[in-house]
Amino acid sequence: MISTEKLKLLLEKTQEIAKEAGAFIRRERQHFNLDRVEHKGFNDLVSYVDTEAEKIIVNKLSQILPEAGFITEEGTNTTKAEVFNWVIDPLDGTTNFVHGVPIFCVSIALMEREEVILGVVYEVNLHECFYAMKGGGAFCNDTRIRVSAAQTLSASLIATGFPYYNFDLIDKYLAALKSLMKSSHGARRFGSAAVDLCYVASGRVEGFFEYNLNSYDVAAGTLIVEEAGGKVTDFSGGRDFIFGRQILATNEKIHEEILNDLKKAWA
């Protein structure tokens, strides 16, 4: 069990680490070229920037909480611990980064057993640092953030992530998207799940849904949404959204409306 004061200190230091990694990513983007891209799988891109940013983060986090293990996207450290584990996506939105689309971020969460207790998402291009600790509210650059007050799906803007390599469920996904597009202000695809979640938390969009995500894509953002007053579930309305590869995050008020559409599409 980490005390509140220690958790606050860890949160401050994690923000500093995320910003340091973000500064590295920003510098590298200035002279980056497509020749330095590798493929982990079909449309699953990675570059030396992802790997080096992760090394920076892992090294710094190891110093501030030596007993913690790691769940990392690029596998620079995969030693898991029994109680505390850092969950890291060093560059969420790699495809955007590669193509020069300015929406990508650093995402870092700390889990205590099965619960996320700290989350930081640093959007590199706008210098926006979203963060939260369990029970402490959600913030962006030291300003408290809250989810949107929109009461209905018809008054809402929805974010999503398109399938880009696993197309087995694409028909179900498109059925859900079609229904939601007809009953909302529209849908947006920003290209970074961590940023999507922070946009829900800050009231820029009312909801976000996606499938086939990993823990490092969503761990930090889900805590930020919940601490901002939002609601997060899987597509069945349960709590298996960190490792369950399905996520729905909303301002809480429109959650059941979207959930009903998802349940119908995924039936």
Residues of the binding site for Mg(2+): 73, 89, 91-92, 217
Q: How far apart are the C-alpha atoms of 55 and 52, rounded to whole Å?
A: 5
Q: How far apart are the C-alpha atoms of 154 and 257, rounded to whole Å?
A: 10
Q: Which residues contact 261 (CB under 8 A, 6 or more apart)?
A: 176, 179, 180, 183
Nearest to 94 by CA among 160, 190, 191, 17: 191
Tell me the binding residues: 73, 89, 91-92, 217
Using an 8 Å Cβ cutoff, are 53 and 37 in contact? no
User: Which two tokens mark 240?
Assistant: 């298996």
- Return the residue matching tokens 């979640």: 197
Q: What is the DSSP letter of 82?
A: S
Nearest to 147 by CA among 201, 196, 198: 201
- If one counts every other C-beta atom within 10 angstroms of the C-beta of residue 100, the result is 8
User: Which two tokens mark 212?
Assistant: 């086939």
Q: Which residues contact 178 (CB under 8 A, 6 or more apart)?
A: none
The length of the chain is 267
